[in-house]
Amino acid sequence: MEASGAAGVEACLARWRRADDESMADAARYRLAVPWDDDTTVRPGVVRLWPGGQRGGAGSTVPLEFLFPEAPEEIDERRFAQAFAGTLHVWLREQRCAEFRARLTERQSGTLRRRNNSHGSLEQLEAGDQTEENWRDFLRRPPLEDEPPKAVALVMNPKIRAMRVLVCRVALPPASAEHVGRLAFRHIFDDDPHSSADGGCGGGLMTCLYVLIAVFLAVLVLSFGVLIRKFLKQ
């Protein structure tokens, strides 16, 4: 059974605390990139719990902050916050729809198995009950709001160019924060290592790219060494 209410918030916060020193997956950087102007895309470099975002005690949301170290120097912070909130909202709606379809398919499969195995083992019956309970828990979740979440953007260290970074802060319901967590830190937030989460492909593509670059550099160095030896023999 999934945690809900205050327990759900605390469980989500605990996972985000575990992810505090982890590197953000490449998939999250690309999926949550913010289109800016005509030819610029601003990608987040870090996502973490917003320090101080829960002053006064735990609430019903999970405060997160996204750091954009490569943001343009001249940027309208308010307009960027709105653009980021819109990007995040669209992605969350896609994830909620995908999760609904997956949960519905799981429930239908469980119902069919119970009908075909009415005299099945106790473990099979309990698994079916758990599937039904998970479905009811999902339906009890608050629906995703029609409007994007409220986000606030600000520039940290604006006078020190080397340390300047654009920060966007937003408070999300636990279910939405879990979606972001699975995208950015799948190994922490995904309870099922065999699931096809949204964040499963980006990191692999970047890893392949890094390997290809390393191989290319190695070949280049070897070729350069051969040319040097031939030159010295002349």
Beta-carbon contacts of 170 under 8 Å, excluding residues fewer than 6 positions away, are 63, 64, 65, 66, 84, 85, 88, 149, 150, 151, 152
pLDDT band, residue 122 (cuts 50/70/90): low
pLDDT band, residue 105 (cuts 50/70/90): confident
Q: Are 32 and 132 in contact (CB under 8 A)?
A: no
Query: Distance (Å, rounded) from C-alpha 127 to C-alpha 204?
Result: 33
pLDDT at position 65 is 95
What letter would DSSP give residue 3? -
Among 12-16, 30-34, 104-108, 165-169, the minimum mean pLDDT is found in: 104-108
pLDDT at position 232 is 67
pLDDT of 93 higher than 80: yes
Question: Hey, is 95 helix, strand or coil?
Answer: helix
Among 40-54, 132-146, 188-202, the minimum mean pLDDT is found in: 188-202
Strands (E), the chain: 34-36, 40-42, 46-49, 62-68, 151-156, 165-172
Beta-carbon contacts of 22 under 8 Å, excluding residues fewer than 6 positions away, are 185, 188
pLDDT of 191 higher than 80: no
